[in-house]
């Protein structure tokens, strides 16, 4: 994973994002945010596992996007201890149409994709 510290290319709500291959953009003020790094590292692993299909599936399939994001947030929450915050973010920002309660269940049940 290559991390570029910048405020560019990120949506207002994002502290970080895998933007291309295994390249992640992280806000400079989140340099020490271990949970965020673990989250983005998981997204990089998902891309590495399916380099030719991951991005398209992630974009088009709600089910695949949920599976990928839920495990990334599970690993992040294991670092931060903030499962409620993880569930809130998963429900709000991943175009899934699920509540925070449903997101929390998905995070708790998440397994590696």
From 67, 72, 110, 113, residue interacting with Zn ion (rule: CB under 5 A): 72
Using the rule CB under 5 A, is 90 a contact of Zn ion?
Answer: no
Q: Look at the chain and count its residues.
A: 113
Question: What is the Cα 59 distance to its own chain's centre?
Answer: 13
Stretch that binds Zn ion, among 28-36, 50-58, 64-72, 74-82 (CB under 5 A): 64-72
CB atoms within 10 A of CB 13: 8
Least distance between Zn ion and beta carbon 47 (Å): 12
Q: Identify which of 43, 56, 45, 46 has the alpha carbon closest to the alpha carbon of residue 14.
A: 43
For helices 34-49 and 62-80, angle between their N-to-C axes, nearest 10 degrees: 150
Span interacting with Zn ion, options 2-10, 26-34, 48-56, 69-77, rule CB under 5 A: 69-77
Q: Which is nearer to Zn ion, 67 or 72 (CB)?
A: 72
Report, in Å, the least distance between residue 19 CB and Zn ion. 12
């Amino acid at each position: 994973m290559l991390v570029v510290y910048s405020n560019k290319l990120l949506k207002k709500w994002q502290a970080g994002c895998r933007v291309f291959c295994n390249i992640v953009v992280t806000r400079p003020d989140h340099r020490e945010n271990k949970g965020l790094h673990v989250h983005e590292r998981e997204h990089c692993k998902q891309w590495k596992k399916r380099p030719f299909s991951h991005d398209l599936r992630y974009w088009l399939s709600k089910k695949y996007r949920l599976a990928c994001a839920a495990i990334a947030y599970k690993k992040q929450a294991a670092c931060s201890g903030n499962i409620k915050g993880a569930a809130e973010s998963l429900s709000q920002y991943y175009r899934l149409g699920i509540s925070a309660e449903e997101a929390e269940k998905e995070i708790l049940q998440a397994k590696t994709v």
